[in-house]
Amino acid sequence: MKFLNATALSVLLATSALTTDLHAQELTMAVSAQSAGQLDPHVSTRTEDKIVFGMVFNGLVRFAPGSMSGEDIEPDLAESWETSEDGLVWTFHLRQGVQFHGGYGEMTAADVVYSLTRAADPDRSGVSSDYTQFASVEALDDYTVQITLAEGIPSLLGVVANYHGGNIVSARAAEEMGENFHTNPIGTGPFAFDELAEGQFVRLVANPDYFRGAPEIDSITIRYISSASARDLAFQTGELDMIAGTREDRWVTNMTETGEAVVDVFEPGELRTLHINAAMPPFDDIRVRQAVAHAVNREELVAFMGASVARANEAPVPDGYLGHNADVTFLAYDPERARELLAEAGYPDGITVPVAITERASLFAPMQVLQAQLAAAGINVELEVMEHSAWHAAIRDDVSSMVLYGAARFPVADTYLTQFYHSDSIVNTPTAVTNFSHCDVADDQIVQARSEADMDMQMALWADAQQAIVDEVCSIPLFELLQVFARSPDVDLGYELEGSLSLGPVITEQSTLAD
């Protein structure tokens, strides 16, 4: 069959002038990773997988391409929806005739119920904490889904959008394939999964039946190249059309100066936070934690990363998230004071602490800057460098006294506060998420704010929570790092790229590749 197609194509090519139209549009991009994680949107939260989810799956609603603002949420698999007075019952009316990839049939309410239930199930999902307030998800008929909440949540549309748990998978495919689903994901998006070469690339092909229309680009190959210089070289030789950039000023400048690349710097800013494990001596003493806070020089960190891609942030919730507290009072850079505090706490000669860190440059490099800053104040950090996924496992085992972590979440204060600072999320507990600091001082505010109907009151509670976390020095928010990609001028995304929760320039059905 392939042969026949090829023959037919070559005959056409030879006899027709429409060569440009027939030329297969193959886009190749490279991201910074050694291999794909698990290509199941409910399981993997790894950066390099998100861009795949963004192209293979749809949610009930979606963030308009190029935006990550809650105001730009628009219909996706659901054409319309309504909500009850108290905001607890949501009814979604599905688009009809949407087909899953690979002949898995029409997408119906049963798939939506299956997907959301699966996303909420801690045994099958890595993002189940977003769905704890889901009381039930029911199919009223083939094209109507009703979600009932136990309690109000800050943004229901956010958790049914095309972001992690909100992605709708084929119930039949997921059941039939079981464990294998993550190497053969079936969705409804503009591109369908085609092939995964472990440690090399994943290939997606255009879904001609996509409900918004067939994509202009025929196939997308996402290669995994963890070395930045290898990516840059391959891009400069024209082997790649698009690459994940290095988040540094000099890289952005150099790449722009070549004149053969468009550099996209876009939201979200991934907040880099130094979480301090208060359960581990000597950090059980707040004075030692305050000393760390005084020893950290944010300006230098921002200078290191580069002002065009980084900005300082002192609040536990990233800038641009609903509920971010811009006026938080924090401990300023003052290494002298840090030494005094250490002496007061009984460590006049300073302290030495072991810290686990990933080998990945985006965290490893700033950690080394921090190491030098802390050393200047008498806090000696002994780094234990680990492979990225080994490090992820280690920090969740509660073995590191400090954890430098970078993350972008759904842009509402609640997700960040719950996952990083609510006592239920403390690592190494049954309900663990990513509370590395054992912080428990803002539980009340976080819970109250979640279902608070009055917007001002909610904002005040979130501001309160952030101040409490900063006062307790659960963590030291450092700086935000924007997303950086470079693409050939031939690639037209088809939309304005200001932000992407997929952490990359998602290729849509409207994106084009000039010859």
Partner 1 sequence: MTATVTTPPQRTPAQRLLRLARRNKLSTVGLILFGLIALAAIAAPLLSSHDPLAQNILHRLEDRSADYLLGTDVYGRDTWARILFGLRVSLLIGLISTALAMIIGSALGILAGYRGGWVDSLIMRIMDMLLAFPTLITGLFIVAVLGANFWNIVLAITVTILPKFARVARAPTIALKEREFVEAARALGYSDVRIMAVHIAPNVLGEVIVLASLWAAYAIRIEAYLSFIGLGIAPPTPTLGTMIREGFEHILDSPFVSIYPGFAVLLVVLSLNLIGDGLRDAIDPKLRD
The contact mask relative to partner 1 for 459-498 (x = CB under 8 A, - = no) is ----------------------------------------
Cβ-based neighbour number of residue 47 at 10 Å = 22
The vertex-504 CA angle with 419 and 386, nearest 5°, equals: 60
Which amino acid belongs to residue 77?
L
Task: Output 472 or 480, the one with its CB closest to partner 1.
Answer: 480
Kindly report whether the peptide bond that precedes residue 65 is cis, defined as omega within 30 degrees of 0: no
Q: Nearest approach, Cβ of 95 to partner 1 (angstroms)?
A: 46
Q: Nearest approach, Cβ of 223 to partner 1 (angstroms)?
A: 18
Q: Nearest approach, Cβ of 141 to partner 1 (angstroms)?
A: 56
The binder of partner 1 chosen from 52, 157, 169, 228 (CB under 8 A): 228
The binder of partner 1 chosen from 9, 383, 393, 514 (CB under 8 A): 383
- Single out the segment in contact with partner 1 by CB under 8 A; choices: 118-126, 159-167, 297-305, 331-339: 297-305
Q: How far apart are CA 276 and CA 284, in angstroms?
A: 9
Q: How far apart are CA 59 and CA 424, in angstroms?
A: 28
- The answer to whether 359 contacts partner 1 (rule: CB under 8 A) is yes
Task: Output 48 or 248, the one with its CB closest to partner 1.
Answer: 248
Angle between helices 286-295 and 361-376 (to 10 degrees): 110
Evaluate whether 218 touches 24 at the Cβ level (below 8 Å). yes
H or E stretch covering 265: strand 262-276
The binder of partner 1 chosen from 106, 194, 216, 300 (CB under 8 A): 300
- Side-chain half-sphere exposure of 404, counting CA atoms within 13 A: 29
- Single out the segment in contact with partner 1 by CB under 8 A; choices: 25-33, 63-71, 366-374, 493-501: 366-374
Evaluate whether 403 touches 395 at the Cβ level (below 8 Å). yes
Q: Which of 145, 147, 128, 125 is nearest to 136 (CA)?
A: 147
Q: What sign for the dihedral angle of Cα 236, 240, 242, 246?
A: negative
Q: Nearest approach, Cβ of 466 to partner 1 (angstroms)?
A: 28
> Which residues face 141 on adjacent strands?
144
The binder of partner 1 chosen from 345, 361, 432, 459 (CB under 8 A): 361
Q: How far apart are CA 361 and CA 367, in angstroms?
A: 9
- The answer to whether 312 contacts partner 1 (rule: CB under 8 A) is no
Evaluate whether 186 touches 169 at the Cβ level (below 8 Å). yes
Token pair recorded at residue 480: 């935000």
- The answer to whether 227 contacts partner 1 (rule: CB under 8 A) is yes
Evaluate whether 338 touches 377 at the Cβ level (below 8 Å). yes
- Single out the segment in contact with partner 1 by CB under 8 A; choices: 68-76, 171-179, 313-321, 367-375: 367-375
Task: Output 150 or 303, the one with its CB closest to partner 1.
Answer: 303
Task: Output 170 or 297, the one with its CB closest to partner 1.
Answer: 297
CA 385 distance to own-chain centroid? 23
- Single out the segment in contact with partner 1 by CB under 8 A; choices: 31-39, 313-321, 329-337, 361-369: 361-369
- Single out the segment in contact with partner 1 by CB under 8 A; choices: 101-109, 160-168, 321-329, 369-377: 369-377
Q: How far apart are CA 320 and CA 268, in angstroms?
A: 8
Task: Output 400 or 434, the one with its CB closest to partner 1.
Answer: 400
Q: How far apart are CA 87 and CA 154, in angstroms?
A: 10
- The answer to whether 397 contacts partner 1 (rule: CB under 8 A) is no
Q: Nearest approach, Cβ of 299 to partner 1 (angstroms)?
A: 9
Q: What are phi and psi of 155, to 5 degrees?
A: -150, 100
> Which residues face 30 on adjacent strands?
223, 243
- The answer to whether 365 contacts partner 1 (rule: CB under 8 A) is yes
Token pair recorded at residue 244: 């994940």
- The answer to whether 279 contacts partner 1 (rule: CB under 8 A) is no
- The answer to whether 369 contacts partner 1 (rule: CB under 8 A) is yes
- The answer to whether 389 contacts partner 1 (rule: CB under 8 A) is no
DSSP letter string over 465-479? HHHHHHHHTSEEEEE
H or E stretch covering 389: helix 388-396
- The answer to whether 233 contacts partner 1 (rule: CB under 8 A) is yes
- The answer to whether 246 contacts partner 1 (rule: CB under 8 A) is yes
- The answer to whether 35 contacts partner 1 (rule: CB under 8 A) is no
The binder of partner 1 chosen from 229, 454, 455, 456 (CB under 8 A): 229
- The answer to whether 148 contacts partner 1 (rule: CB under 8 A) is no
- The answer to whether 385 contacts partner 1 (rule: CB under 8 A) is yes
Alpha helices in 92-242 (DSSP H): 109-120, 156-159, 171-177, 228-236
The vertex-123 CA angle with 119 and 127, nearest 5°, equals: 40
- The answer to whether 330 contacts partner 1 (rule: CB under 8 A) is no
Q: Nearest approach, Cβ of 391 to partner 1 (angstroms)?
A: 12
Number of shown-chain residues binding partner 1 (CB under 8 A): 23
- The answer to whether 286 contacts partner 1 (rule: CB under 8 A) is no
Q: Nearest approach, Cβ of 376 to partner 1 (angstroms)?
A: 9
| Binding footprint of partner 1 on the chain (CB under 8 A) | 227-229, 232-233, 246, 250, 254, 300, 303-304, 359, 361, 365, 368-369, 371-372, 375, 382-385
